[in-house]
Structure 1
Amino acid sequence: MRVGSRSDLGGGERGSLIEVSPADNNRPAMGEEREGEEELLVPPLNFAMVDNGIFRSGFPDSANFSFLQSLGLRSILYLCPEPYPEANYEFLKDNGIRLFQFGIEMCKEPFANIPEETIREALKVILDVKNHPVLVHCKRGKHRTGCLVGCLRKLQRWCLSSIFDEYQRYAAAKARVSDQRFMELFDISSFKNLPLSFSSTRSSANR
């Protein structure tokens, strides 16, 4: 693996991959509990399990690092164009976690423009079990993350009402008609070989 430089993280390049390797020194892992103290695991905002090996959340900060360590993540899929913060980048480096960045600009109705091809490329990362466990996140874990998870649910043959219910559970009062319209119209026909190891493919078919 190559160690991504700080400059690799900027620009919001679609589908960029930054691979980081564990640090070579023997310093304690970030978030490691001190002797005699009980470690407090704090999940990021809007954290949830999507499927086996797939998680979603808002932007994690240093208070969440110990919790993320407990997940044994291999990858993080980041849906914002802004550079990854230095502290988060160091956490990835220390834990050998790969960063996939898909720079989707924040959209506000009525001028919403969700890049369908970027969503497709991000789905390919999620569908590849070699990247699991993977955490998907944007800023608040609502709109960009919600759209990506909603498109994944279409691949898992969820009905639209269940997809929208899940989206609205995280977006709450800020749910966007344009996001739901995007998920409704998203064409899954190009995804012909959905991995059978995906647990919800069968169990969600009757939702």
Structure 2
Amino acid sequence: MTNLSEIVSADKERMRVLAMRGRNSVFRKVEKDVDYEDDDDDDDDDDVVGARDGGQEEEEEDEEDEEFEEVVEDDGLYLTPLNFSMVDSGIYRSGFPQLGNFTFLETLGLRSIIYLCPEPYPEPNSEFLRSHGIRLFQFGIEGNKEPFASIPVDTIMDALVVLTDPKNYPLLVHCKRGKHRTGCLVGCFRKWQGWCLSSVFEEYQRFAAAKSRVSDLMFIEMFDVSALRQTLNAASLTLPHVSSPQMKHTY
């Protein structure tokens, strides 16, 4: 006779399998929902799909998507964006949010989003922001895989002014996959918080993994925190200059 503990254990295993199946279903939609040109994270597709079987038929994938949609509706599962994590109280980081992540984002009560890519924000995402009164700050940093490519310090500085302003919290910062551009911004933010460099690098590498870039680590190491403090004092923790060609914000 099956006891209660065995039933509970079986239910937990079922939910784990369904949740993982749902994550893969959502991640497979990245290329459909965000049709961008190649940038700094396009070579990470294998990281997103994980150990997905390349020989699986498209028809089976569609059936899996339909099955998961039913699970979301019936069981109320929440899907976090790729590489989602809490940075600090009221500050979050992630890859690009997809349609399947919107229900989860609603639970955060976001007030602002920092978007680090130069491409226009997709209309479904913009509509989500408008319907929830979320402010979008866009800092267009080009994705570049060159080892000695320069990262725009002024743009990072402007983004940090927004990131360090509590009036913008709760806030989500993201690029495409939440690894390089987001990692650089968060790394500079950690230096402003007084983290030691080894801890800053460890956090960056935890998200970038095998895709870690020496140029990013060098940028973080050389970032001048005293210049940021001067900028924050001059701005009195207000919004960055709207006239900056690298920055856009909407309400």
- TM-score range for the pair, normalised by the shorter chain length: 0.7 to 0.9
Tell me the amino acid that sits aligned with residue 121 of structure 2: Y
Q: CA deviation at 1:79?
A: 0.1
Q: Which has the higher helix share?
A: 2
TM-score (norm 1): 0.75
Contact 1:56 1:136 in 2 (8 A): yes
Distance 1:190 1:154 in 2: 12
Partner of 1:56: 93
Residue-pair matches, total: 161
Partner of 1:89: helix, strand, or coil?
helix
Contact 2:147 2:213 in 1 (8 A): no
Say whether residues 1:90 and 2:127 are aligned partners: yes
Distance 1:39 1:94 in 2: 21
Distance 1:192 1:148 in 2: 15
Structure scoring higher RCO (CA < 8 A, sep ≥ 6) equals 1
Among 59, 71, 75, the residue aligned to 2:108: 71
Q: CA deviation at 1:113?
A: 1.7
Q: 1:135-182 CA deviation, whole Å, 9 max, x = no partner? A: 000000000000000000000111111000000000000000000000
Q: CA deviation at 1:57?
A: 0.1
TM-score (norm 2): 0.62
Tell me the amino acid that sits aligned with residue 160 of structure 2: L
Q: Which runs of 5+ in 2 are unaligned?
A: 1-72, 234-251
RMSD: 1.8
Partner of 2:229: 192
Partner of 1:15: none
What's the % identity of the aligned pairs? 68
Partner of 2:192: 155
Partner of 1:60: helix, strand, or coil?
coil
Q: CA deviation at 1:37?
A: 3.5
Partner of 2:156: 119
Partner of 1:50: helix, strand, or coil?
strand
Q: CA deviation at 1:191?
A: 3.2
Distance 2:198 2:149 in 1: 22
Q: CA deviation at 1:39?
A: 1.8
Contact 1:109 1:176 in 2 (8 A): no
Q: Which runs of 5+ in 1 are unaligned?
A: 1-35, 196-207
Structure 1 runs of 4+ aligned residues shifted over 2 Å read: 190-195
Q: CA deviation at 1:109?
A: 2.3
